[in-house]
Amino acid sequence: MYGFKLRPHHSLCIRFFRGEGYSDEFVKEMSRIIEKLESENPYVTLTVGCDEICKACPNNIGGKCKDFDKVERIDNNCLAELDLSGGELIKWQALKQLAYKSIIKENKIKSVCKNCVWQYLCN
Ligand code: SF4
Ligand code: SF4
């Protein structure tokens, strides 16, 4: 079964999204994707690499994030806290709840999302 590609750490970013982002196009696309996830609750495939959200991001250079090392570290921190692996399929609402319970509620954003420039928005 194929799921909607989603970077693990984007399950956190989505929770804190307030209409700010890398460009107007990115914000529009992020809003559209969140609406789709919430209304359809699809299976997502956890992807340590560019996903559906990255497609509209100006930092996506030829299919690779320009902050590749940093975001890969954040993805892997996130997977470790969620006790999940890259490539796993999970329903969006289950992932969202797990991310909330294991990371957000436990105040682990600072350590999981180390060096993210948007951290001030994610409290
Ligand atoms: S700190 Fe950065 S990576 Fe973490 S949830 Fe916020 S925007 Fe996403
Ligand atoms: S900064 Fe990188 S990981 Fe984040 S949305 Fe843009 S391309 Fe994707």
- Are residues 82 and 103 in contact, defined by beta-carbon separation less than 8 angstroms? yes
Q: Is the Cβ atom of 65 under 6 angstroms away from ligand 1?
A: no
Q: How many domains does the chain have?
A: 1
pLDDT of residue 30: 96
**Separation of CA 121 from chain center:** 15
At 17-51, the pLDDT tens digits run: 999 888 999 999 999 999 999 999 999 999 999 99
Main-chain dihedrals φ then ψ at residue 21, nearest 5 degrees: 180, -165
Helix H or strand E encompassing 25: helix 24-40
* d(CA 66, ligand 1 centre) in Å: 16
The helix-helix angle for 68-82 and 92-99 (nearest 10°) equals 90
Taking the CA of 78 as reference, the closest ligand is: 1
**Distance of CA 75 from the midpoint of ligand 2 (Å):** 11
Residues spanned by the domain of 116: 4-121
The two structure tokens encoding residue 28: 């529009």
Q: What is residue 1's predicted lDDT score, i.e. its pLDDT?
A: 52
User: Residue 18 Cα, ligand 1 centroid: separation in angstroms?
Assistant: 12
d(CA 19, CA 31): 8
Q: pTM, whole model, 2 decimals?
A: 0.95
Pocket of ligand 2 (CB under 6 A): 7, 50, 53-54, 57, 59-60, 65, 67, 71
Does the pLDDT of residue 96 top 80, yes or no? yes
